[in-house]
Amino acid sequence: MGWARKILRVNLTTGTVKVEPLNMDWASKYLGQRGLATKYFVEEVDPKVDPLGPENKMIMATGPLTGTAASTAGRYSVITKGALTNAIACSNSGGYFGAELKFAGWDMIIFEGKAPKPVYVTVFDDVCEIHDASDIWGTSVWHTDEWIKTKHQDPMMHISAIGVSGEKQVLYSCIVNDLHRAAGRSGVGAVMGSKNLKAVAVRGTGGVKVKDGRAFLKAATAGKKVLQENAVTGAGLPTYGTQVLMNVINEAGAMPTRNHRQVQFEGAHAISAEAMATPRKSDGQPNLLTNQACFGCTIACGRISKIDEKHFTIQNKPQYWKASGGLEYEAAWALGSNTGVDDLETLTYVNFVCNEQGMDPISFGATVSAAMELYELGLLTKEHTGGIDLKFGSAEALAKCVELTGTGEGFGKELGLGSLRLCTKYGRPDLSMSVKGQEFPAYDSRGIQGMGLTYATSNRGACHLRSYTVSSEILGIPEKTDPLTTDGKPALVKAFQDATAAVDSTGLCVFTTFAWTLNDIAPQVDAACDGANWTPEYMMEVGERIWNMERVFNNRAGFTHKDDNLPPRLVAEPAETGPAKGLVNGLATMLPEYYQLRGWTQEGVPTNETLSRLSL
Amino acid sequence: MLKALVIDPGKCTGCKQCEMACSYENEGEFNVAKSRIRVFDFHEQGKMVPYTCTQCAEAWCQQACPVNAITTDPLSLVKVVHENLCVGCKVCTIACPFGTINYNASTGKVTKCDLCQGNPACSDACPTGAITFQDIEQTGFDKMKVWAAQAAAGSPDAPGAKAPVAKH
Amino acid sequence: MHYVILGAGPAGVTAAETIRQKDRNGRITLIGGEPEPPYSRMAIPYLLHGDIEERGTYLRQKPDHYDSLCIEYRHGRAGGIDSRRKELYLSGSDPVAYDKLLIATGASPVIPKMSGSNLDGVVNCWTLADARAILKRADKGAPVVLVGAGFIGSIVLEALYQRGCDLTVVEIAPRMVARMMDDTAGGMLARWCREKGVKVHTGTKVNAIRQTGSNGGATLAVDLSNGQAIPAQLVVLAAGVKSNTGFLVGSGVKVNWGIQVNPFLETSAPDVFAAGDCCEAVDISTGKPDMLAIQPVAVEHGRLAGLNMAGTKTPHRGSLNMNVLDTMGLISSSFGLWQGKPEGQTAKLIDEDNFKYLKLNFEGDRLIGAQSVGLTDHVGMLRGLIQTGFRLGGWKDKLIASPERLREAYIAVAQGAPIGGPTGPHVNTPIAKAAA
């Protein structure tokens, strides 16, 4: 129960589709989605595989709660070896696609090989077909979505697709579903593009059953009540979205600015949630139209924005005059403070294009900001940029960059490499604000010490969603810790990593954990799923197992403890302002303790004892 | 006290909890395709609209049923399909001008919202109050009810009505 | 006041019940021409399936339904009326005096002109008696010829298929359901039938039905205009229906194809009303009188006639022609001016592989007619849009580009929901609490 107990295996090379029963033994150890799909992945794929080669596989996976009435239970994840990172990748997305895949009767789809020509795949309940995509290759996600719905005459389909950036293998391209929800990070879109797979369209009319309906509804209802009564999930997120963090993090002195040279942005207020809701001077309308929920979500943090039609970025471009997915905090930061641009309308436009063409706005924004620093240093010139005056704070330059990168043209090809490859090419790899090739998100680890360890040890490269210690260090959830010290952070990071790995395997959204602990989540899982006694303790064990499984894969892929590192700027250049003034990140003190807590060697390798304890 | 579902699309976030609750209550599984309430998404305007049977006074479905398988509950005024009598002829599905009674091929019968026998699961599940179950006296005639009345065949008040009158 | 209702189909029964709601004391006599309690012909195919028993076809289920409403239900066949003396003649009984008379005598099958239509084993499919005759011969594997693939023929077809008959369908028109749908839809239905093993001959006439020697159960042969002779154990005639108005000759009630009525469903004779299949009332799509022999229209007429007879003057503004058909699991429907108008625009969705079809006909920016095959969800919205005449505005062009967005268009124009302008986010808990 919970699981559909069936998986689809689509071999793109041969154009064949197979149905397999879900391995329920694995399901009882890895739950679903991130954990279970990663288990399939590591069992089937050589860690040294070229991420963009046909031997890499890509799995779209739901969790056992996906498609149930638990709050936020509509998630799916894309598991593959990341194009940007060469590490294990697991990118999670909301919208309605995941639930629809479950309703069609599938726990996951495993894509293998590479189609000889561009294709897209449709799944109508138990009918899976591969179609020629030559009519939509070279077009955007938005166009693809509309085209497939019209072609198959079904407006109720849900579609995950790549844009031109994914086709051109921009290394941080993502897979966008439902027009503006994305499996965003690590370049999963480039992997999809490398397989000549343009889109996956799903329509399901079946149902999802749970083990004990009465107990499940009771647990789910109790969970919803907790979310509703919590200040963050019940009020902050629906009202302000994740942008609720903009002013908070800026005040905490942890807002990376201009490629992390500063930790506070003078324009933060102009690009904050409050600014989005305030009527614009230009036309009297606010940027934010409304909020929108993903499938099953009773929080509804999604932003729906509309740009001023007269804004310079969208004049004569009616496709951007409609309402669409607005700025989340990470995008507002990466596109805004990190590039020094404080024009909300430009940021919204750039975000629209990221959705339209399928790019991770975090890595895109961070790559532009790195390029801006290279430009300031004279290492990049107008000759390289094709005439773009790539100065920090230039909205025009940012808008031009997103257009070029989205379609992989001109200087956009360079930006599409990501910051590490770009900075290495121009001789300053140290200016790439990344770990394992993946750019930092919106928290400066000098101001939030735990995040330094989070980034350094994240299995998919720098990422906030692997252990969001911001919860504890800034918001006090579940309990407040001091963001400026390293004390206790290794244990905090380990606990967050394990719990998050478990939550990512359920089908639920990690944002619930602003209010929920595993004590709220485990009863919902247990009422829905058989196969194990799903207690909070067992879920922590599952999470730890998943974390170590990912680590082992990365180690076999060639990563070592030397890759659990931060760029020199964060460990050598002290913060200039704010509460963290004078501080650098204390990674060196945290890392050995972390390894020890993990049961890993000083070289960051899980010991045999650890592996056998976790039945790995 | 007569109660009705009152739908305020302005409060809907599109989470589909109503569809999940409805399908679970009526079909025993989470299956939005079988929900009797459906949320329509107008993404270009950022609007979501929940939609279901208004239990309209005209009872088009009931009138069209050839075998009296749809009746009006005398107390709640809910239009109820009696599955034992429904032969599956589908005439009600084309007769209902709201399109809120639908054929279920797996059972060979039609299904519609019956307000869950007086305790609608959708309104319980709605997190934002977009769907509420209220005393009609308190709410007055909500918009959908008014519309239902206006859409009565031949009502000259129907918005945009153009029904021709026969000349003899 | 004595209300007499001649005919106990849906129109007659609805009229009787409506009168009773409005007039608690008047005497109501409901006269049925068949021996059974009032039943629905719509349900007969399901009786043939074996889904229901005869009881399941009854219009009202409670045995004492008519008694409890003080409606006298009696049997009788119409012989004629004298509208000056206000008397109704029934064959083999005394005249019945009335104050108000409703003629709801329905329609009867048209028997195509051919030799052999009176042979044993050749039956209509219209009454319960016909159904019993069919059940006697329509065994599993029995060779059966169905003459007529119009709406009724196609419904019977489903039932005969379900019974496992070896089925051949002969239709004189060039396509199936020719009066309900166009070539594309009719062609889809025929192809669907053939894929299910039913032999379909369109554009083919039956020349004659012959008695033959026993030929493996078949005692009949059906000679077709294409030269084939099909052996049959049973021949079912479903070649259309005509109004039952023969008894009105010389009565003073004017009859065209059906009985002519004014908007109050009054005939040309005083205090004589007509409703249902026997009359020609207004088709809302054309504004002209027409005979729309369908259940919802009969009920609509019955209700309005009842109101008018009981003194609540209510004009009929016209009925919408519509049909829904289940052909061995393939569901099709048509509404209003399904053929469209030559000057109007159309939106078409055609998916031959999946037997899906939707055609929308517009006049200006209003929907005036539609046909669908293979679509069932929210299909009533088509009626809603046509009957209300809502202006589709910009949605018309969206529908021409993507007809499958019909439901969105309906909600958008009918519910008036998506209008521009910001509404702000929807919050579960007051923000003050969050700040606290």
Which domains, ranges and CATH numbers included, belong to chain B? 3-150 (3.30.70.20)
A41/A182 same-domain check: yes
Q: Does C417 have pLDDT greater than 50? A: no
**Region C140-169: what's the mean pLDDT?**
92
Distance CA A510, CA A466 (A): 10
Q: Are the Cβ atoms of A69 and B44 closer than 8 angstroms?
A: no
Q: Please, which pLDDT band fits residue B147 given cuts at 50, 70 and 90? A: very low
Q: Please, which pLDDT band fits residue C216 given cuts at 50, 70 and 90? A: low
pLDDT in tens, A271-321: 999 999 999 999 999 999 999 999 999 999 999 999 999 999 999 999 999
Q: Does A289 touch chain C (CB under 8 A)?
A: yes
User: CATH topology of C2-108+242-309 equal to that of C122-239?
Assistant: yes
Alpha helices in chain B, H assignment, sequence order: 17-27, 60-64, 91-95, 115-118, 121-125, 136-139, 143-150
Structural domain of A361: 257-432
**What are the E-state strand segments in C112-258?**
122-124, 143-147, 166-170, 199-201, 206-215, 218-224, 229-232, 234-237, 241-243
Considering the domain boundaries, does residue A452 fall inside one?
no
Mutate to test the interface with A, among B20, B25, B42, B119 (most CBs of A within 10 A): B20
- Residue whose C-alpha is closest to residue A556's, from A88, A85, A56: A88
Cβ pair A397, A411 in contact under 8 A: no
Q: Are the Cβ atoms of A69 and B27 closer than 8 angstroms?
A: no
Q: Please, which pLDDT band fits residue A356 given cuts at 50, 70 and 90? A: very high
Subunits close to A (at least 3 CB pairs below 8 A): B, C
CATH number of C2-108+242-309, picked from 3.50.50.60, 3.90.226.10, 3.20.20.450, 1.20.120.1690: 3.50.50.60
Q: Does C431 have pLDDT greater than 50? A: no
Nearest CA in chain B to C301: B63
Portion of chain A with pLDDT greater than 70, in percent? 100
A188 half-sphere exposure, CB direction, 13 A CA radius = 28
Portion of chain B with pLDDT greater than 70, in percent? 80
Q: Does C423 have pLDDT greater than 50? A: no
Q: Does B16 have pLDDT greater than 80? A: yes
Query: What residues of C are in contact with residue A290 (Cβ under 8 Å)?
Result: 422-426
Q: Does A302 touch chain C (CB under 8 A)?
A: no
Q: Counting every residue, how long is chain A? A: 616
Considering the domain boundaries, does residue A451 fall inside one?
no
pLDDT in tens, A223-275: 999 999 999 999 999 999 999 999 999 999 999 999 999 999 999 999 999 99
pLDDT of residue C415: 67
Query: What residues of C are in contact with residue B45 (Cβ under 8 Å)?
Result: 418-420
Compare CB distances from A291 to C426, C430, C436 and report the shortest one's residue. C426
Query: What residues of B are in contact with residue C407 (Cβ under 8 Å)?
Result: 40, 99
Q: Give the highest mean pLDDT range of A164-178, B73-87, C127-141, C174-188.
A: A164-178
Query: What residues of A are in contact with residue C381 (Cβ under 8 Å)?
Result: none
Q: Does B91 touch chain C (CB under 8 A)?
A: yes
Distance CA B15, CA C109 (A): 53
Q: Please, which pLDDT band fits residue C416 given cuts at 50, 70 and 90? A: low
Compare CB distances from A153 to C349, C407, C422 and report the shortest one's residue. C349
Subunits close to C (at least 3 CB pairs below 8 A): A, B
Considering the domain boundaries, does residue A264 fall inside one?
yes
A290/A366 same-domain check: yes
Q: Are the Cβ atoms of A69 and B17 closer than 8 angstroms?
A: yes
Distance CA A430, CA A419 (A): 10
A44/A187 same-domain check: yes
Q: Quick check: bond before A478 cis, omega within 30?
A: yes
Amino acid identity of residue A269, one-letter, is H
A477/A416 same-domain check: no
**Region A386-400: what's the mean pLDDT?**
98
Token pair listed for A287: 């940027």
Amino acid identity of residue A584, one-letter, is V
Compare CB distances from B67 to C45, C59, C410 and report the shortest one's residue. C59
Cβ pair A271, A305 in contact under 8 A: no
- What's the alpha-carbon Rg for chain A, to the nearest Å? 22
Q: Does A288 touch chain C (CB under 8 A)?
A: yes
Q: Please, which pLDDT band fits residue C387 given cuts at 50, 70 and 90? A: confident
- CA–CA min distance C329, chain B (Å): 8
Q: Which of residues 10-39 of B touch A (CB under 8 A)?
A: 13-17, 20-21, 23-24, 27-34
pLDDT of residue B167: 31
pLDDT in tens, C257-293: 899 999 999 999 999 999 999 999 999 999 999 999 8
pLDDT in tens, B20-72: 999 999 999 999 999 999 999 988 888 899 999 989 888 899 999 999 999 99
- Sequence ranges of the domains in chain C: 2-108+242-309, 122-239, 337-414
Q: How many domains does chain A have?
A: 3
Q: Are the Cβ atoms of B33 and A99 closer than 8 angstroms?
A: no
Q: Please, which pLDDT band fits residue C213 given cuts at 50, 70 and 90? A: confident
A473/A411 same-domain check: no
Considering the domain boundaries, does residue A221 fall inside one?
no
- CA–CA min distance C197, chain A (Å): 24
Query: What residues of C are in contact with residue B67 (Cβ under 8 Å)?
Result: 40, 42-43, 56-59, 61
Considering the domain boundaries, does residue A575 fall inside one?
yes
Q: Does B161 have pLDDT greater than 70? A: no
Q: Does B87 touch chain C (CB under 8 A)?
A: yes
Distance CA A190, CA A163 (A): 10
Q: Rounded to 5, what percent of chain B is helix, strand, coil?
A: 30, 20, 50
Q: What is the ipTM of this complex?
A: 0.91
Distance CA A185, CA A84 (A): 9
- Residue whose C-alpha is closest to residue B34's, from B82, B97, B106, B96: B106
A76/A166 same-domain check: yes
A161/A262 same-domain check: no
C436 or A614, higher pLDDT? A614
**Region C329-336: what's the mean pLDDT?**
95
Distance CA A411, CA A388 (A): 9
Q: Please, which pLDDT band fits residue B10 given cuts at 50, 70 and 90? A: confident
pLDDT of residue C358: 96
Model confidence, pTM: 0.90
- CA–CA min distance A306, chain B (Å): 9
User: Which CATH number fits the domain that encloses residue A545?
Assistant: 1.10.599.10
Query: What residues of B are in contact with residue C331 (Cβ under 8 Å)?
Result: 90, 103
- Across the A/B interface, how many CB contacts are shorter than 8 Å? 83
pLDDT of residue C418: 34
- CA–CA min distance B36, chain A (Å): 14
A335/A410 same-domain check: yes
- Classify residue C66 by its DSSP letter: H
A284/A193 same-domain check: no
Instruction: Show which of A432, A456, A489 is a domain's final residue.
Output: A432
pLDDT in tens, A504-523: 999 999 999 999 999 999 99
- CA–CA min distance A487, chain C (Å): 29
Q: Does C200 have pLDDT greater than 60? A: yes
Give the CA-trace dihedral at A342, A344, A345, A349, to 10 degrees. Answer: 90
pLDDT of residue B136: 73
A194/A268 same-domain check: no
pLDDT of residue C51: 86
Compare CB distances from A300 to B13, B43, B45 and report the shortest one's residue. B13
User: Which CATH number fits the domain that encloses residue A199?
Assistant: 3.60.9.10
- CA–CA min distance A107, chain B (Å): 15
Considering the domain boundaries, does residue A446 fall inside one?
no
Cβ pair A350, A332 in contact under 8 A: no
pLDDT in tens, A55-64: 999 999 999 9
Q: Are the Cβ atoms of C433 and A153 closer than 8 angstroms?
A: no
Q: Does B168 touch chain C (CB under 8 A)?
A: yes
Token pair listed for C197: 């093993």
Q: Does C25 touch chain A (CB under 8 A)?
A: no
Q: Are the Cβ atoms of C401 and A300 closer than 8 angstroms?
A: no
What would the CATH number be for the domain defined by C122-239?
3.50.50.60
A290/A349 same-domain check: yes
Cα distances from B78 to residues A201, B82, B112, in angstroms, run 38, 12, 10
User: Which CATH number fits the domain that encloses residue A374?
Assistant: 1.10.569.10
CATH class of C337-414: alpha beta
Q: Which of residues 79-138 of B touch A (CB under 8 A)?
A: 125, 127-128
pLDDT of residue B135: 84
Cβ pair C381, C360 in contact under 8 A: no
Q: Tell me the DSSP string of A59-92.
A: EEEE-TTTTSSSTT---EEEEEE-TTTSSEEEEE
**Region C23-49: what's the mean pLDDT?**
93
- CA–CA min distance B43, chain A (Å): 7
- CA–CA min distance A7, chain C (Å): 25
Portion of chain A with pLDDT greater than 90, in percent? 99
pLDDT in tens, C94-140: 899 999 999 999 999 999 888 999 999 999 999 999 999 999 999 99
Amino acid identity of residue B53, one-letter, is C
- CA–CA min distance A221, chain B (Å): 8
